[in-house]
Chain A
Amino acid sequence: GENVEQHPSTLSVQEGDSAVIKCTYSDSASNYFPWYKQELGKRPQLIIDIRSNVGEKKDQRIAVTLNKTAKHFSLHITETQPEDSAVYFCAGRVGGGGNKLTFGTGTQLKVEL
C-alpha cells in the first residue's frame, strides 16, 4: 500500500520567513495530494491540494509543488505569521475505490515573533 513520509517533524521560523515542508510517497499510482492544517485541539482542515496532472499550485501565501518522477511534493508558506503555527499533514491518494488518504506523520510549525 501507499506510504507517505514527511519531513521535518518540527520546524521553527521567524515571522516573515518562509517555511517548507516536504513529503515523499511510494505508490506511483497516487493522483491526489492534499495538505491539511490542524490547530491545537481542532480538526484538520484542507489548506491546499494538487492533482497529479499539475506541477504547481498557489493560493496567496501558500503553494504546493509536485515532482511525479521523484515522487515527492512540498508545501511552501511565505511571509509566515504567528497564526500559521499549527501541525501540517500531507497525504496521498491512490486511485480506486474508497478515496483512501494515507497521511504523513505531521510537521509542527512554530512561527516565532
Chain B
Amino acid sequence: DTAVSQTPKYLVTQMGNDKSIKCEQNLGHDTMYWYKQDSKKFLKIMFSYNNKELIINETVPNRFSPKSPDKAHLNLHINSLELGDSAVYFCASRGLAGSYEQFFGPGTRLTVL
C-alpha cells in the first residue's frame, strides 16, 4: 500500500565496498528522483529519471550510478564507498502531469565505517 518504498532502511558497510539501494513507486508517476540528506539535514538532489531516461544529473561523483529498469523503479548503486557518503538517501517521485508535488520514500540511512 506504500506509495514510495525503499530498501533497505538501514545500511552499514565498510569503506571501499559497493552497495545498492532500491526504490519503487506504485503511484503511476513518470518521474523519480534521488536526494542525499547529510548530517546537517541539507537536502540535495542527485539524479532524476523521467520514464527511464536520465534528465537531471547533478555534480555527483561517478561512483554513484542510478539505474531505472522501468518507470516504477529507480535504483542507486554506489561503488567504492567513502566515509563522506554516509547520509540518508531519499527516493521521490513526482505527481502526474500538471502537478509539481514530489512524494518521498522513507529514506535509507547509509553508514560507512
Contacts and interface: CB of A to CB of B under 8 A. Distances in A.
Contacts of B50: 97-98
Contact of B101 (A38, A46, A87, A89): A46
A99 interface: yes
A44 B104 contact: yes
B101 to A, nearest CB: 5
Contacts of B68: none
Contact of A100 (B41, B45, B101, B103): B45
Interface residues of B, number: 21
Q: At the interface, is chain B mostly helix, strand, loop or mixed?
A: strand
A110 interface: no
Interface in B41-96: 41-45, 48, 50, 55-56, 90, 94
A23 B76 CA distance: 31
A99 B94 contact: yes
A100 B43 CA distance: 12
B94 A103 contact: no
22 contacts: A34-B102, A43-B104, A43-B107, A44-B43, A44-B90, A44-B104, A46-B101, A46-B102, A49-B101, A97-B50, A97-B56, A98-B31, A98-B48, A98-B55, A99-B31, A99-B48, A99-B94, A100-B48, A101-B45, A101-B102, A102-B45, A105-B42
